[in-house]
């Protein structure tokens, strides 16, 4: 199994531009999570899906952030418009069943200048 695959690994963009981060979960996993990691705030859960349905998006910082999961093998996190304070590492993770551990992707390091 290739694990959770995220793309791109690194993204540098200018303030105001749209950014799309992508995630392919492990086949058969029914939960997908998006986290943001910064030095100041640590790991923050942004949103998670169960069977492609968004369950809790209370961690999404504001309306500039949106996430979709059109099918069981693909999810996107979009920021529009991006701002310098969005600079962080964004992780996607997936899991099987309610009490399982997560498998994390390698993350996308986003820099907004």
Partner 1 sequence: GNSVTQMEGPVTLSEEAFLTINCTYTATGYPSLFWYVQYPGEGLQLLLKATKADDKGSNKGFEATYRKETTSFHLEKGSVQVSDSAVYFCALRGSARQLTFGSGTQLTVLP
Q: Which residues bind partner 1 (CB under 8 A)?
A: 4, 31, 33, 42-43, 45, 48, 50, 55-56, 91, 93, 98-99, 101-107
Q: Which is nearer to partner 1, 91 or 112 (CB)?
A: 91
C-beta of 102: minimal distance to partner 1 in Å? 6
Which tokens sit at 103?
């498998």
Q: Which is nearer to partner 1, 86 or 90 (CB)?
A: 90
C-beta of 16: minimal distance to partner 1 in Å? 28
Q: Cα 26 to the chain's mean position, in Å?
A: 14
Distances in whole angstroms, Cα of residue 90 to Cα of each of 61, 97, 98 = 13, 23, 23
Q: Which is nearer to partner 1, 107 or 110 (CB)?
A: 107
Torsion over CA: 17, 64, 90, 61 (sign): positive
Q: Is the separation of the CB atoms in 107 and 7 below 8 Å?
A: no
């Amino acid at each position: 199994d290739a694990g959770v695959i995220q793309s791109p690994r690194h993204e540098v963009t200018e303030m105001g531009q749209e950014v799309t981060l992508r995630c392919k979960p492990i086949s058969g996993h029914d939960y997908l999570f998006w986290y943001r990691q910064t030095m100041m705030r640590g790991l923050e859960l942004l949103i998670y899906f169960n069977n492609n349905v968004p369950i809790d998006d209370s961690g999404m910082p504001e309306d500039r952030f949106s996430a979709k999961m059109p099918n069981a093998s693909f999810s996107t996190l979009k920021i529009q418009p991006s701002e310098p304070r969005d600079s962080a590492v964004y992780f996607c993770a997936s899991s099987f069943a309610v009490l399982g551990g997560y498998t994390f992707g390698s993350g996308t390091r986003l820099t907004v200048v």
